[in-house]
Structure 1
Amino acid sequence: MSVNNILEFLEETARKTPERIAFADESESLTFGEFLQRTRAIGSAVSEMVPPRQPVAVLMNDRSVNTVAALMGIVYAGCCYVPLDASLPEERLALIAQSLCPALVLMDMKGEKAARSFDCPAIHVSDAIGHDIDARRLDEIRAQASADDPMAIMYTSGSTGIPKGVVQSMRSHILYTTATIEKYDFTADTVFGNQSPFFYANSIIDIFPTLALGAKTVILPAGALAFPAVLIEQLNRHRVIELTMTPSSYVKVASSGVLTPGCLPHLKYIVLSGEAAHWATLEKWLAAAPEADVWNFYGSTEMYSVAVWKLTKTYEDGRTIPVGPLFDGVEIVFTEEEGMLVHTPWLAEGYYRDEHRTEAVFFTGEDGKRYYRSGDMGMMDEENHLVVLGRKDTQIKHMGYRMEIGETELALLSAQGVKEGCCIFDKDSGVLHAFYTGEVDPKALTPILKKVLPRYAMPDKVHQLAEMPYTPTMKIDRKKMHMMCENWQK
């Protein structure tokens, strides 16, 4: 099937299987036929207020089928959707508002307060859903649309403290969706368990294969990770087959003690992303889900997924787990100075209204292809699998030696009694800090690390935490830990 617009996936599936469930949350479920009508109503409402190709901010409850409908409705209006975390601090929302200047805000009750940060019209999603479908207007918009139009802007943290809006085109989403389905061998029977927020790039693996295949996505409750027993109950109740989470999230659930052998009989895909994986944790998940395989992938909001594979062997803790062979069409140039330079068929267009930062990391190579300076160090192993060695900016000089912080982190995570862990280097003081949760005493942990680490890679200070801080996308909050280190130095 040749596709020029991502909405063709939805329309073809709704034509063939209108009664199949597409998306479900705690409150309601929508068939593909119902989802199509809801998105077209939202698209009609949005198109009445703003012209095509304008950014529309979405400030809504992230665990709702209406949020997905809002995103696709904005695409029907020919506009570019911008999903945002409605719980962000006012100061950060103000920075995004200044950068984005959206033409419209689409909100629900949860997003009403956040919408005040934006100087533009706003519409409540309940009103948009009740709007009459203007089929003629939607057809006119479709006729003018191009696969090269911007379809989504995803905001990520910037090193300067100013958020970056990553622009992805319609074509990027089509190509990535097709490649993802082929690589993972998803089918119409796949039930996706959505845990990733819709303002996080990982959520696209739940949305678009569902539309293309006629599969089903269950939007898991907001508190599922806070109460792991609830997550297990939900995965079993909905017979979830695929689950994508950060390694930190998998660790959090495994550390809670709720995983027992065979407790997840339906799960077949354990998909990791965003951070280095910890094999001891994966073994617990594989015992709990005997029919499952572990899939490890590498990517970013700018690149989406670059490499992925189904792990076919075990790995000793302390060894970096490869992220697999490259997707077809992906090319990587390995450099010492800039890290990996990556070309993908679905590479982002750049950062919205930020020419300076776009030119700093996106460039056209001598081969005429666009590349992204990833900032990650890597290599291909003997099996031609990509191995990510860590961030270029996590290379430090400690005790006179050049080293990777990841080396110390792997040893920390491999230590018996450690559940979660990360390392932070304070450049001003030259102190390497190790943070962890678990039962092992800090005084007992130091000799364990000394058995596996050279002297220069040993942490100077070891801190036991009751809980590890996390970002809204369930990655370890290293910025917060840096602030803790700075406060201690004072």
Structure 2
Amino acid sequence: MTRLEDLLVASAERSPGSTALIGPDGVERLTYAELDAVTDRIATMLVDRGVAPGDRVGVLAAKTPWTIASLIGTLKAGAVYVPVDSASPATRVARIIRSAEPSVLLADATATKLVDGLVAEGLSDLTVGSLEAPLAGERFTSAFSRSDVESLQATRPDVGKDPLAHLLFTSGSTGIPKGVMITHDMVSAFVDWALGHFGTKPGDRISAHPPLHFDLSTFDIYATLAAGAELHLVPASLGLDARKTAAFIRDRELTQWFSVPSVLTYLARFEAVAEHDFPALERLLWCGEVLPTPILAHWMRKLPHVRFTNLYGPTEATIASSYYDVPVVPADESVPVPIGVPCAGESLVVLDEGKPAPVGEIGELYIGGVGLSPGYWRDREKTDAAFVTGPDGERIYKTGDLARVDGEGVVHFLGRTDSQIKSRGYRIELGEVETAVNTVAGVRECAVVGVDLGGFEGTTICCAYSVAAGASLPVNDMRRAVTALLPRYMVPAKWDVLDELPKNVNGKIDRPVLRERFRPAPKESE
């Protein structure tokens, strides 16, 4: 199977002068030849700094052309990259760093405060390289900078290779993030399928919307490089500005847009898309959560020239394992969009008590095939619990999703079986949020639940808590404390302070009752 860095090398040989990356500002650009040379230099610097095949390299930086180059440069050094959200609290990132044990951290100015925080957390022996000018925080200085890299010869180092490409850390129910191991083979298999299915070609202009620590970005990067197309890095500053996001799609003349559904929902609700808008757009893809059918119908009516595809799959099965090309505007907007049929080399199995569920019957969804991860980084117990043997003897992944298969073999997603939710495309273990809340001084008891309040962001995270005797913990103080412990997308949006949390007959916290507390009361009819 092709290694991921070789996708860039092949395109650079075919079309060295073609544009590969365009930065968020539209000004910074790298051709395929330039990107190939930059990644060679980064690889050389890493090897010179002692990075060996199989070593991990942490990447804590904003999404820029040089940050993308750092990922590929790490692969050319035979190493494994670990993209980290530089906006996350230092306490959480420190857990990831201790688990991954990177030889080098590659950072930019956005991560200066974070790296200072990591040193304060006891990680004082970090080797930090800067992707910009030299970095200097209160507790560290960078060992090398972009100018040092640029001074090197653009020669690809001759090193051994590791089958792992990167580690993606996802939310863990114990409060400790889980590192999903992603191999070159896993990603290249999906890229091969995607190039054939979507027909990506040189000259295409592809969006890069998801953050780099989110596995959807893997598809954007490597499918684009494999096709010799242009990757347009979407500014994080667009945030939830619907009209600026629409303008980006329009002005960049994108041929493909790929994002989580909450972005599409937001653009629709703010009427940011005009009739027959985005004339260059050929396909619109989404993944990560359920796209409400009325929102899909809205987009399809606005953009009849665009092909719409729903992708489904967890990080453990590499980007997506199934797809559904929506043939026409849905006639019944109350019916959810299917997650479809398996991608090439993948399998979707719906089981009921370990046996295949009959057609139309509900069961738990498992995934098998070429996209499966080897498991969780240095955690055999979690790996063995999630990756099991199926009825036919194949290795399959327990998704925790409920599904059914219809008479035509199309799979329909029906919800979660556990406390894991999707919010704004992020997979979140509510147990990790509870763990953070419980660490706040003054909390006696807490429960975190996910409630569908009909918002664009998906499931809303809600927290109820009681306070220890003699303590005072207003919601604003609680929110500030939790924000210092978790990424913003994991901080509960709704809070309730109670004298006692409701209990069921077994003495356990009654979470269904709490969910109902957070639901708005129905409006009285006039």
Q: TM-score range by the shorter chain?
A: 0.7 to 0.9
1:364: Cα distance to partner? 4.2
Q: For residues 234-277 of structure 1, what are the alpha-carbon distances to aligned partners after superposition, in whole Å with 9 as ceiling and x for unaligned?
A: 11111101111111111111112222212221212111111111
- Give the stretch that moved more between structures: 181-190 or 360-369: 360-369
Pairing 1:359–2:384 present: yes
Structure 2 equivalent of residue 312 of structure 1: 327
Structure 1 equivalent of residue 400 of structure 2: 375
1:292: Cα distance to partner? 0.7
2:495 corresponds to which of 444, 463, 484: 484
RMSD: 3.0
Q: For residues 159-180 of structure 1, what are the alpha-carbon distances to aligned partners after superposition, in whole Å with 9 as ceiling and x for unaligned?
A: 2221111111111121111111
Aligned length: 419
Identity of aligned residues (%): 25
Per the normalisation by structure 2, the TM-score is 0.74
Structure 2 equivalent of residue 17 of structure 1: 15
Kindly tell me: are residues 203 and 487 of structure 1, through their superposed partners in 2, closer, same or farther at Cα, counting changes over 3 Å? farther
Kindly tell me: are residues 34 and 160 of structure 1, through their superposed partners in 2, closer, same or farther at Cα, counting changes over 3 Å? same
1:192: Cα distance to partner? 0.7
- Give the stretch that moved more between structures: 116-125 or 208-217: 116-125
1:279 corresponds to which of 273, 293, 308: 293
Pairing 1:326–2:342 present: yes
Question: Any conservation in 2 of the 1:59–1:107 contact (CA below 8 Å)?
Answer: yes
Secondary structure of the equivalent of 2:321?
strand
1:365: Cα distance to partner? 4.4
Question: Any conservation in 1 of the 2:297–2:333 contact (CA below 8 Å)?
Answer: no
Q: For residues 19-43 of structure 1, what are the alpha-carbon distances to aligned partners after superposition, in whole Å with 9 as ceiling and x for unaligned?
A: 1111101140111011111111111
Secondary structure of the equivalent of 2:195?
helix
Secondary structure of the equivalent of 2:273?
coil
Structure 2 equivalent of residue 38 of structure 1: 38
Query: In the aligned structure 1, how far is the partner of 2:177 from the partner of 2:452?
Result: 28
Question: Any conservation in 1 of the 2:38–2:69 contact (CA below 8 Å)?
Answer: yes
Structure 2 equivalent of residue 125 of structure 1: 131
- Unmatched tracts of structure 2, length 5 or more: 133-144, 355-363, 424-429, 435-445, 457-482, 502-526
1:489: Cα distance to partner? 6.7
Matching of residues 226-375 of structure 1 within 5 Å: 226-304=240-318, 305-315=320-330, 316-337=332-353, 339-365=364-390, 367=392, 369-375=394-400
Question: Any conservation in 2 of the 1:42–1:131 contact (CA below 8 Å)?
Answer: no
Query: In the aligned structure 2, how far is the partner of 1:367 from the partner of 1:167?
Result: 25
1:154: Cα distance to partner? 0.7
Kindly tell me: are residues 78 and 381 of structure 1, through their superposed partners in 2, closer, same or farther at Cα, counting changes over 3 Å? same
Query: In the aligned structure 2, how far is the partner of 1:431 from the partner of 1:81?
Result: 33
Structure 2 equivalent of residue 97 of structure 1: 97
Q: For residues 142-172 of structure 1, what are the alpha-carbon distances to aligned partners after superposition, in whole Å with 9 as ceiling and x for unaligned?
A: xx325xx111101111122211111111111
Equivalent position amino acid for 1:392 in 2? T
Structure 1 equivalent of residue 203 of structure 2: 189
Question: Any conservation in 2 of the 1:165–1:351 contact (CA below 8 Å)?
Answer: yes
Query: In the aligned structure 2, how far is the partner of 1:368 from the partner of 1:437?
Result: 42
1:341: Cα distance to partner? 2.1
Pairing 1:73–2:82 present: no
Query: In the aligned structure 2, how far is the partner of 1:13 from the partner of 1:322?
Result: 35
Structure 2 equivalent of residue 390 of structure 1: 415
Kindly tell me: are residues 389 and 80 of structure 1, through their superposed partners in 2, closer, same or farther at Cα, counting changes over 3 Å? same
Query: In the aligned structure 2, how far is the partner of 1:20 from the partner of 1:489?
Result: 63
Query: In the aligned structure 1, how far is the partner of 2:314 from the partner of 2:211?
Result: 15
Kindly tell me: are residues 433 and 18 of structure 1, through their superposed partners in 2, closer, same or farther at Cα, counting changes over 3 Å? closer
Query: In the aligned structure 2, how far is the partner of 1:134 from the partner of 1:215?
Result: 23
Query: In the aligned structure 2, how far is the partner of 1:362 from the partner of 1:11?
Result: 34
Query: In the aligned structure 1, how far is the partner of 2:65 from the partner of 2:202?
Result: 19
Structure 1 equivalent of residue 110 of structure 2: 110
Pairing 1:199–2:213 present: yes
Query: In the aligned structure 2, how far is the partner of 1:354 from the partner of 1:285?
Result: 42
Secondary structure of the equivalent of 1:291?
coil
Query: In the aligned structure 1, how far is the partner of 2:343 from the partner of 2:449?
Result: 39
1:434: Cα distance to partner? 5.2
